[in-house]
Amino acid sequence: MVKALFPGSFDPFTNGHLDVVQRAANLFDEIVIGVGTNLSKQYLFQPTEKIAMIEKVTEQLSNVTVLEMSGLTVEFMKQINADLLIRGLRNEKDYLYERDIAQMNHELGDVETVFLLAKPDHQFLSSSLLKEVASTGTDISKYVPNIIEKALYEKLGK
């Protein structure tokens, strides 16, 4: 059995994130979505809100669970007995950033990282870009699951 961790801040969880989770769920026995906090980012949603929304949009995937994570990813992996990390790559900029993190995780905890390439229709999606677009009241329904779209507009007062 292979247990994989898909970590991120997921503020908000996009259709690109969902696509990575769905594909990973077909490749590995168990997927844990680790909802973490990046101290360099500002968030709209609290971790409990994000977890509830992600659980709802992944409820059809029987081998997926969602947990709050804190501290170093390699330490969280030990806590949950995960075998590897999953990361999505949208473009070469993501690759350069994720490559360095993967190497550090390997150095710190002998962790393997598996990269899944974003599908073309998700390559431009980012949570920060979606928050910016949604703040204008623009329709983002094709970029995020419905429950997240509604919560995002509610948070932004749209």
142 is catalytic: no
Tell me the CA distances in angstroms from 55 to 24, 42, 83, 142, one per residue in order.
16, 22, 22, 19
**Known catalytic membership, residue 127:** yes
The one catalytic residue in 9, 87, 122, 127 is 127
Contact predicate 12/114, CB 8 Å: no
Max CA separation in the chain (angstroms): 45
Per the annotation, the verdict on 131 as an active-site residue is no
Q: Which residue among the candidates 50, 87, 90, 131 is catalytic per the annotation?
A: 90
Long-range contacts made by residues 131-140, C-beta under 8 angstroms, separation at least 24?
131/11, 131/12, 131/44, 131/156, 134/158
**Which helix (H) or strand (E) is 50 found in, with range?**
helix 47-57
Active site residue 90: yes
Residues assigned a catalytic role: 17, 41, 90, 127
